[in-house]
Amino acid sequence: MKGKVINMNKPVTFSIVVPVYNEAEVLDNTYERLKSVMDSTGETYELIFVNDGSSDDSIHMLKSLAQSDPTVKCINFSRNFGHQIAITAGTDYAAGKAIVVIDADLQDPPELILDMAEKWREGYDVVYAVRTKREGETFFKKQTASMFYRILRRLTDVDIPVDTGDFRLMDRKVVHELNKLKEKNPFVRGLVSWLGFKQTAVYYERHERLAGETKYPLKKMLKLSLDGITSFSFQPLKLASYSGIVLSAIGFIYAFIVVCMKLFTTSTITGWSSMIILQCMFSGFILIILGAVGEYIGRIYDEVKDRPLYIIDGKYGFEEQRQAAAPQRHIM
């Protein structure tokens, strides 16, 4: 069964995938806005909410939405697995001809889906949303995010667009390929770029989240950045060999100078403090490199263990036969 994506849901034109983690304060608004935008298309659609182990009221709200509205579907994780994995589960279960991933906090305006759909009809397979401006986020978040996208671009050969999150529309054939990728620490936006196909951008200004706080504390941001870099670049590993070469060259030059000074001058060489400084600098440097190697080894370990990517506690609003078709990535 592994590696094969079975989708027995009734086909619809659009699937909207919404990862949800403690978003009870905004869910009703998000649902209303998505609904009115999708109704205005006149096409069939489904709204797939993935509850990523919320500890607030989100799951109860989603369950009752799934009961009262046949377009709403809900996947309930057994615990918090993370934003990227919630997106992956959503795309695994999406039945649409076009699949849109959008945040639950309305920072990604649902109205932009209409522009995305238009580009899709023009023949593009992926339409990603680029943030021209970010509002209501801390200076630190804006600066680190902007730096991260640029560093990642430098480090990798894959054409990963800058200032672009996971808000995008993908054609069925792209999602079909995406679902075959079985990475344990997925960096979805990078994987979609890696897949290729005909991609284009739409631009938007990112507003403040409607309510609540960011669900991406520094720890999660760091994990996402490391996943992005380690999945798409070996450069940090190369850093060890390059810097090793440079540092030993400096060492040899310095040794040569010391010998010359000893032979041709009378000056004595003192330098306990410089020894200590060098000692600290180089051991620090070696540990950093070791840490970088560790990041890759940890991820190899995750792949080898081959645990399921997510565990589902329950699904709501899906058809019966869908449940019978054992999904490929998780254990019920």
Q: Which two tokens stand for residue 3?
A: 């590696």
In order, the DSSP letters of 181-196 are: ---SS--HHHHHHHH-
Q: Which is nearer to ligand UDP, 182 or 220 (CB)?
A: 220
Q: How far is the CB of 127 from Mg ion (least distance, A)?
A: 20
Residue found by looking up tokens 């979609």 in the block = 192
Q: Which is nearer to Mg ion, 201 or 210 (CB)?
A: 210
CA gap 285, 152 in Å, rounded = 21
Q: Which is nearer to ligand UDP, 90 or 236 (CB)?
A: 90
Residue 30's binding partner out of ligand UDP, Mg ion, none, with CB under 5 to 8 Å set by partner kind? none
The yes or no reply on residue 30 touching Mg ion (CB under 5 A) is no
Q: How far is the CB of 108 from ligand UDP (least distance, A)?
A: 9
Residues near 229 by beta carbon (within 8 Å), at least 6 away in sequence: 151, 152, 155, 235, 236
What would the x/- binding string for Mg ion be over residues 252 to 291, using CB under 5 A?
A: ----------------------------------------
Interface contacts to ligand UDP, rule CB under 6 A: 19-21, 23, 52, 80, 82-83, 86, 103-105, 107, 209, 214-216
CA gap 264, 236 in Å, rounded = 42
CA gap 306, 223 in Å, rounded = 19
Query: Among residues 213, 174, 183, which one has the least CA distance to residue 309?
Result: 183
Q: How far is the CB of 52 from ligand UDP (least distance, A)?
A: 4
Query: Among residues 202, 269, 205, 195, which one has the least CA distance to residue 232?
Result: 195
Rg of the chain over all Cα atoms, to the nearest angstrom: 25
Q: How far is the CB of 19 from ligand UDP (least distance, A)?
A: 3
Residue found by looking up tokens 């990963």 in the block = 160
What would the x/- binding string for Mg ion be over residues 98 to 137, using CB under 5 A?
A: -----x-x-x------------------------------
CA gap 172, 189 in Å, rounded = 16
User: Under rule CB under 5 A, which residues in 177-216 are in contact with Mg ion?
Assistant: 209
Q: How far is the CB of 206 from Mg ion (least distance, A)?
A: 8
Residue 104's binding partner out of ligand UDP, Mg ion, none, with CB under 5 to 8 Å set by partner kind? ligand UDP
CA gap 62, 47 in Å, rounded = 11
Q: How far is the CB of 250 from ligand UDP (least distance, A)?
A: 41
CA gap 28, 207 in Å, rounded = 18
Residue 144's binding partner out of ligand UDP, Mg ion, none, with CB under 5 to 8 Å set by partner kind? none
Sheet holding 72-77, edge to edge: 199-206, 126-134, 164-171, 96-101, 12-20, 45-51, 72-77, 312-316
CA gap 241, 253 in Å, rounded = 19
Q: Which is nearer to ligand UDP, 54 or 193 (CB)?
A: 54
Q: Which is nearer to ligand UDP, 103 or 171 (CB)?
A: 103
Residue 14's binding partner out of Mg ion, ligand UDP, none, with CB under 5 to 8 Å set by partner kind? none
Contact 15, 45 (CB under 8 A): yes
The yes or no reply on residue 52 touching Mg ion (CB under 5 A) is no
Q: How far is the CB of 302 from ligand UDP (least distance, A)?
A: 17
The residues of the shown chain that bind Mg ion, judged by CB under 5 A, are 103, 105, 107, 209
